[in-house]
């Protein structure tokens, strides 16, 4: 760095010395301000002190580099000239804001000081200029308070206390009751506090104020909180922070001043109309505070809303005309709908901020499709403009936004959609009532695999316990049922005839409405609005399908789910969990007989009863999916999941199925496991009890043959062996699977392609994928279990500490929601590379919950997998995310 080094970059007045690309030198905030100014937008002028100054400051024992003071002084006077004010001037005082601005925003840093430059002298100038003494003194006392807190680091309680005491003494309740005189008195008190605590008066030299604030920003780069944050988030100390100094502008300088917010299109509907509000002679916060009613921006909007007060278009036609020009410039530059804050100071328009505007899913769709048609963006850009997560809002019914509602309970928004129904407390009853044609909402403390039929029968599910990835949440999302989880205030009475929430009682049979997207439960039936899947939606999805490389499949077990998936554009089934079929009422008895059998022969007899039912399940599924591949996972859960657990349940089951209760109890006890997740499950069952998998393979192949004969079309069963850790497991099982598959084809005198493959859901499988690929024709990454084993983290138990982890920044995201690239992702990449090395044409997919998460889909695209598989209702989300991932691939 020489003494000619440029330490300060100015902006404003239609140009800037920096631009958006100089983020490392100017920080994020400084670079954006420079970009706006260089577009010729009327940005309040200012300058950025570079991050290099911060580095020099620390490299030289907290001394500033030579030349800095001069450059700041020069930049400041240029700012004054641009706005026609002067820093420290008694009649036209330039006021500035001072803000930190690192490359990445970071807690612990000194954030903002506003209105810097106010002193006992300049405050009078401001009062006169604005014609509003109350505003001037209020600004001054705010400045003293803020400066004392963040720059002088004085105890802020004293200031608050003084103000409270003052207001009490006058019976004031709100700050707005304070007059200019009141503020003058408070200011005197504030200054006394400062002097007492500091040992010297509040600085009355604007120059001193400014350098105090700059010192504070640079000093805060190395405070404890910032240091800890950097350490946790891997941000190098050497990056440094920049400091932004910018002229304050005021919308409350009389009737020729105003302030407002605007969107270049309607953020709610996406319609191509300007949209916004403004207030004459007001500050930005007045618009938000709601004390005065803002006026409309356009005449059109005023008329549509039947308002009397003139719109900005009518009241300030010149400024409005300038604003419209800015709108056009911004949409053309950013090629997206903008959300703008502006101020008019004495007829002059100032742009305080512009950013891509937040919008509803519906608006996002419409804006993207419209802009494409307008020629502003291309199809592929339109595809990238819609947040795939937001589609969830469109794919499910939602509550009518205009309908009144009476909230009973809140919980986690576990599965989106809205539904009304009678409250029931157990799954059998839910099923019975549903069969009678009633809509029911299943309310449980928590759910288990034995509730599957009840959850399926219900229109929605509410649980008292469990997080976003609890059994209820995962299954409900898979089924597309709205679900509210972890509603901690929900107390279900032991009698199961009512529940209470903070004393309010809801009876069994009462109608409630649940909103799974918001995590709320309402009393009575709240009307819902059905989703529209045609129009813009259909058009955008066509563009997305053209753009994507990966196939999208769905995880589905029932013909209904398979049909939903197919309707939503799924190109096959990526995961059919056969155990769900085992739980259905007509077969659970045979399943239990099998588990209780002492010998292979006994098991085979029970399995013979299950075979025709499984075959019929597969036939129904294949019939929906003709022409497409269907991946079927052989039995996975440990056998104890199919047995009753508590003594009462055992007695009940024994009675109802005429089994010996003691035998059931003994067997359940013997099968009990310390860590079922790591227990006797998956292919370990297939090795111990080959007859179970043999029955399933027979059922699959017989069903495939039957459907081929019936429809003339092929299905391609992909038989998937779960939880493989060693090549040898798959080698052993594959011999038997092939034998049975070939013999079924021979019996039917048919040819049919089928594949044998495996889940990659254990670290060892990923690490030895080259060996496993010798046997496996496909890999499906089971990233739920792979995440559990890679982290050594049980999904069911993580609720007790994940919140601590998120709060302290150890986890930025829940790894069960968004795939962990560094760890789990590393294993996926190892497996892909090793698998393809052995078998170049191996088929690769992912079937964990992550398959429906857009961020994870991006990883999957990067890893080069062939397809993702997700729950049926997320199929469009996955299609869109896959397209974006391909288009935005780095």
- Cα distance between residue 473 and residue 849, in whole Å: 11
CB closer to its own copies out of 231 and 355:
231
Site for its own copies in 261-300 (CB under 8 A): none
523 touches its own copies (CB under 8 A) = no
- Cα distance between residue 370 and residue 593, in whole Å: 61
728 touches its own copies (CB under 8 A) = yes
Q: How far is the CB of 639 from its own copies (least distance, A)?
A: 10
CB closer to its own copies out of 427 and 787:
787
Distances (CA, A) of 170 to 165, 174, 178, 229, 323: 9, 11, 9, 44, 44
Q: How far is the CB of 767 from its own copies (least distance, A)?
A: 5
- Cα distance between residue 36 and residue 340, in whole Å: 12
Q: How far is the CB of 577 from its own copies (least distance, A)?
A: 17
Q: How far is the CB of 727 from its own copies (least distance, A)?
A: 8
Site for its own copies in 344-383 (CB under 8 A): none
CB closer to its own copies out of 828 and 842:
828
How distant is the alpha carbon of residue 887 from its chain centre? 21
CB closer to its own copies out of 69 and 225:
225
Q: How far is the CB of 771 from its own copies (least distance, A)?
A: 7
CB closer to its own copies out of 94 and 827:
827
Q: How far is the CB of 48 from its own copies (least distance, A)?
A: 31
Q: How far is the CB of 682 from its own copies (least distance, A)?
A: 8
Site for its own copies in 108-147 (CB under 8 A): none
Query: Would you say 200 is a known binding-site residue?
Result: no
Closest CA to 441 of 428, 425, 454, 460: 460
822 touches its own copies (CB under 8 A) = yes
Judged by DSSP in three states, 890 sits in: coil
Number of continuous H segments (helices) and E segments (strands) in the chain: 36, 34
Residues linked to residue 844 through DSSP beta bridges, in sequence order? 779
Residue selected from 808, 837, 888, 889 as contacting its own copies according to rule CB under 8 A: 808
Closest CA to 607 of 593, 624, 621: 593
CB closer to its own copies out of 104 and 232:
232
CB closer to its own copies out of 314 and 796:
796
Per rule CB under 8 A, count of chain residues that contact its own copies: 56
Site for its own copies in 782-801 (CB under 8 A): 785, 788-794, 796-797, 800-801
CB closer to its own copies out of 790 and 885:
790
Q: How far is the CB of 735 from its own copies (least distance, A)?
A: 7
Dihedral of alpha carbons 463, 468, 472, 476, sign? positive
- Cα distance between residue 164 and residue 158, in whole Å: 10
Please answer whether residues 310 and 257 qualify as being in contact, where contact means their C-beta atoms are separated by less than 8 angstroms: no
Residue selected from 94, 340, 697, 725 as contacting its own copies according to rule CB under 8 A: 725
Distances (CA, A) of 85 to 36, 72, 95, 439, 730: 22, 16, 9, 69, 80
Query: Would you say 619 is a known binding-site residue?
Result: no
Q: How far is the CB of 657 from its own copies (least distance, A)?
A: 24
Site for its own copies in 657-716 (CB under 8 A): 671, 673-680, 684, 687-688
Q: How far is the CB of 723 from its own copies (least distance, A)?
A: 6
- Cβ-based neighbour number of residue 614 at 10 Å: 22
Closest CA to 845 of 575, 605, 541: 575
Closest CA to 575 of 590, 587, 565: 565
Q: How far is the CB of 648 from its own copies (least distance, A)?
A: 16
Judged by DSSP in three states, 420 sits in: strand
- The catalytic residue positions are 471, 847
Q: Which residues contact 107 (CB under 8 A, 6 or more apart)?
A: 225, 226, 229
- Cβ-based neighbour number of residue 465 at 10 Å: 17
731 touches its own copies (CB under 8 A) = yes
What are residue 295's phi and psi, to 5 degrees? Answer: -100, 165
Q: What does DSSP assign to residue 598?
A: S
Strands 573-577, 551-555: pairing kind = parallel
Residue selected from 228, 360, 393, 748 as contacting its own copies according to rule CB under 8 A: 228
Q: Which stretch binds its own copies (CB under 8 A): 68-76, 227-235, 551-559, 562-570?
A: 227-235
847 touches its own copies (CB under 8 A) = no
Q: Which stretch binds its own copies (CB under 8 A): 115-123, 140-148, 149-157, 720-728?
A: 720-728
Which segments of 339-464 does DSSP mark as H helices, in order?
Answer: 361-373, 379-384, 388-395, 427-435, 452-457
Q: Which residues contact 612 (CB under 8 A, 6 or more apart)?
A: none
Query: Would you say 577 is a known binding-site residue?
Result: yes
809 touches its own copies (CB under 8 A) = yes
Residues linked to residue 759 through DSSP beta bridges, in sequence order? 780
Please answer whether residues 475 and 442 qualify as being in contact, where contact means their C-beta atoms are separated by less than 8 angstroms: no
Written in H, E and C, the secondary structure of 635-704 is: CCCCHHHHCCCCHHHHHHHHHHHCCCHHHHHHHHHHHCCCCHHHCCCCHHHHHHCHHHHHHHHHHHHHHH
Distances (CA, A) of 130 to 125, 281, 291, 315, 345: 9, 9, 20, 20, 10
Residue selected from 735, 742, 888, 889 as contacting its own copies according to rule CB under 8 A: 735
Please answer whether residues 848 and 533 qualify as being in contact, where contact means their C-beta atoms are separated by less than 8 angstroms: no
Query: Crossing angle for the helix pair 388-395 and 875-887, nearest 10 degrees?
Result: 160
805 touches its own copies (CB under 8 A) = yes
- Cα distance between residue 47 and residue 39, in whole Å: 16
889 touches its own copies (CB under 8 A) = no
What are residue 221's phi and psi, to 5 degrees? Answer: -60, -30
To the nearest 5 percent, what fractions of the chain are helix, strand and coil? 50, 15, 35
Site for its own copies in 745-774 (CB under 8 A): 761-764, 767-768, 771
Please answer whether residues 191 and 183 qualify as being in contact, where contact means their C-beta atoms are separated by less than 8 angstroms: no
CB closer to its own copies out of 437 and 792:
792
Query: Would you say 237 is a known binding-site residue?
Result: no
Please answer whether residues 48 and 27 qualify as being in contact, where contact means their C-beta atoms are separated by less than 8 angstroms: yes
5 touches its own copies (CB under 8 A) = no
Residue selected from 823, 836, 838, 866 as contacting its own copies according to rule CB under 8 A: 823
191 touches its own copies (CB under 8 A) = no
Residues linked to residue 421 through DSSP beta bridges, in sequence order? 512
Site for its own copies in 454-473 (CB under 8 A): none
The two structure tokens encoding residue 752: 């049919």
Query: Would you say 633 is a known binding-site residue?
Result: yes
CB closer to its own copies out of 460 and 682:
682
CB closer to its own copies out of 84 and 809:
809
Residue selected from 729, 849, 853, 861 as contacting its own copies according to rule CB under 8 A: 729
CB closer to its own copies out of 150 and 741:
741
495 touches its own copies (CB under 8 A) = no
Q: How far is the CB of 834 from its own copies (least distance, A)?
A: 10
Q: Which residues are annotated as a binding site for substrate?
A: 577, 633, 761, 782-785
Binding residues for Mg(2+): 761, 785
Q: Annotated binding site, which residues?
A: 577, 633, 761, 782-785
Binding positions for its own copies, rule: CB under 8 A: 228, 231-232, 234, 671, 673-680, 684, 687-688, 723, 725-729, 731-732, 735, 761-764, 767-768, 771, 785, 788-794, 796-797, 800-801, 804-805, 808-811, 820, 822-824, 826-827
């Amino acid at each position: 760095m020489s003494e000619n080094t440029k330490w300060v970059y100015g902006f404003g007045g239609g140009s800037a010395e920096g631009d958006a690309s100089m983020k490392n030198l100017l920080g994020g905030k400084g670079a954006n301000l420079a970009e706006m100014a260089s577009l010729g937008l009327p940005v309040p002028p200012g300058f950025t002190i570079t991050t290099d100054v911060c580095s020099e400051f620390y490299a030289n024992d907290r001394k500033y580099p030579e030349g800095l003071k001069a450059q700041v002084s020069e930049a400041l006077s240029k700012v004054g000239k641009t706005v026609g004010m002067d820093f420290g001037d008694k009649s036209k005082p330039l006021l500035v804001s001072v803000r930190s601005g690192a490359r990445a925003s970071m807690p612990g840093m000194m954030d903002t000081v506003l209105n810097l430059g106010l002193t006992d002298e300049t405050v009078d100038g401001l009062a006169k200029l604005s014609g509003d003494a109350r505003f001037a003194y209020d600004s001054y006392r705010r400045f003293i308070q803020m400066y004392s807190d963040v720059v002088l680091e004085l105890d802020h309680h004293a200031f608050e206390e003084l103000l409270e005491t003052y207001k009490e003494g006058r019976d004031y309740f709100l700050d707005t009751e304070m007059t200019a005189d009141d503020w003058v008195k408070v200011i005197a008190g504030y200054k006394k506090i400062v002097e007492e605590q500091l040992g010297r008066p509040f600085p009355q030299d604007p120059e001193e104020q400014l350098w105090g604030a700059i010192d504070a920003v640079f000093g805060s780069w190395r405070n404890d909180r910032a240091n800890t944050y950097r350490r946790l988030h891997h941000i190098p100390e050497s990056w440094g922070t920049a400091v932004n100094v910018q002229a304050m502008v005021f919308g409350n300088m009389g009737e020729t001043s105003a302030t407002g917010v605007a969107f270049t299109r309607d953020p709610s509907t996406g319609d191509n109309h300007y949209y916004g509000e403004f207030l004459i002679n007001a500050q930005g916060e007045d618009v938000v505070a709601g004390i005065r009613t803002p006026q409309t921006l356009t005449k059109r909007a005023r008329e549509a809303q039947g308002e009397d007060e003139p719109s900005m278009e009518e009241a300030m036609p010149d400024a409005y005309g300038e604003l419209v020009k800015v709108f056009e410039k911004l949409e053309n530059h950013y090629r997206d709908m903008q959300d703008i804050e502006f101020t008019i100071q004495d007829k002059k328009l100032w742009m305080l901020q512009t950013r891509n505007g937040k919008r509803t899913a519906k608006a996002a769709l419409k804006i993207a499709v419209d802009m494409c048609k307008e020629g502003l963006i291309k199809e592929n850009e339109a595809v990238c403009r819609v947040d795939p997560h937001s589609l969830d809002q469109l794919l499910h019914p939602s509550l009518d936004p205009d309908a009144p509602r009476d909230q009973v309970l809140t919980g986690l928004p576990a599965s989106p959609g809205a539904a009304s129904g009678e409250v029931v407390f157990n799954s059998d009853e839910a099923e019975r009532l549903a069969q009678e044609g009633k809509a029911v909402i299943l309310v449980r403390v928590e759910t288990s695999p034995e509730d599957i039929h009840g959850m399926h029968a219900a229109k929605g599910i509410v649980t008292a316990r469990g997080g976003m990835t609890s059994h209820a949440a995962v299954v409900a999302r898979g089924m597309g049922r709205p679900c509210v989880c972890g509603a901690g205030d929900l107390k279900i009475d032991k009698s199961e005839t009512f529940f209470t929430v903070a004393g309010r009682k809801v009876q069994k049979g009462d109608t409630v409405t649940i909103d799974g997207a918001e995590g709320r439960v309402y009393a009575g039936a709240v009307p819902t609005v059905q989703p529209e899947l045609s129009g813009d939606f259909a058009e955008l999805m066509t563009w997305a399908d053209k753009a994507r490389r990966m196939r999208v499949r769905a995880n589905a077990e029932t013909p209904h789910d398979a049909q939903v998936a197919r309707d939503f554009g799924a190109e096959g089934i990526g995961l059919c969990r056969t155990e769900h079929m085992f739980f259905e009422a007509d077969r659970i008895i045979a399943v239990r007989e099998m588990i209780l059998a002492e010998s292979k022969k006994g098991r085979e007899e029970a399995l013979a009863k299950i075979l025709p039912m499984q075959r019929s399940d597969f036939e129904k599924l294949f019939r929906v999916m003709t022409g497409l591949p269907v991946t079927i996972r052989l039995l996975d859960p440990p056998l104890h999941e199919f047995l009753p657990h508590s003594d009462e349940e055992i007695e009940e089951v024994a009675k109802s199925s005429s089994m010996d209760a003691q035998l059931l109890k003994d067997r359940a006890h013997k099968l009990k496991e310390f860590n079922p997740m790591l227990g006797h499950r998956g292919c370990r069952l297939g090795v111990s009890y080959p007859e179970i998998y043999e029955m399933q393979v027979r059922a699959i192949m017989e069903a495939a043959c039957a459907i081929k004969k019936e429809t003339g079309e092929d299905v391609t069963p992909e038989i998937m062996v779960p939880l493989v850790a060693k090549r040898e497991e798959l080698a052993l099982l594959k011999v038997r699977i092939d034998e049975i598959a070939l013999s079924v084809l021979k019996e039917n005198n048919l040819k049919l392609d089928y594949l044998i493959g495996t889940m990659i859901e254990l670290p060892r499988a990923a690490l030895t994928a080259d060996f496993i690929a010798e046997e496996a024709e496909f890999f499906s990454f089971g990233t739920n279990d792979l995440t559990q084993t890679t982290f050594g983290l049980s999904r069911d138990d993580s609720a007790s500490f994940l919140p601590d982890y998120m709060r302290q920044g150890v986890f930025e995201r829940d790894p069960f929601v968004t795939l962990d690239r560094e760890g789990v992702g590393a294993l996926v990449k190892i497996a892909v590379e090793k698998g393809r090395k052995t078998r170049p044409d191996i088929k690769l997919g992912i079937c964990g919950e992550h398959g429906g998460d857009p961020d994870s889909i991006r990883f999957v695209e990067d890893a080069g997998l062939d397809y993702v598989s997700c729950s049926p209702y997320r199929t469009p989300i996955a299609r869109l995310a896959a397209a974006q991932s391909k288009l935005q691939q780095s």
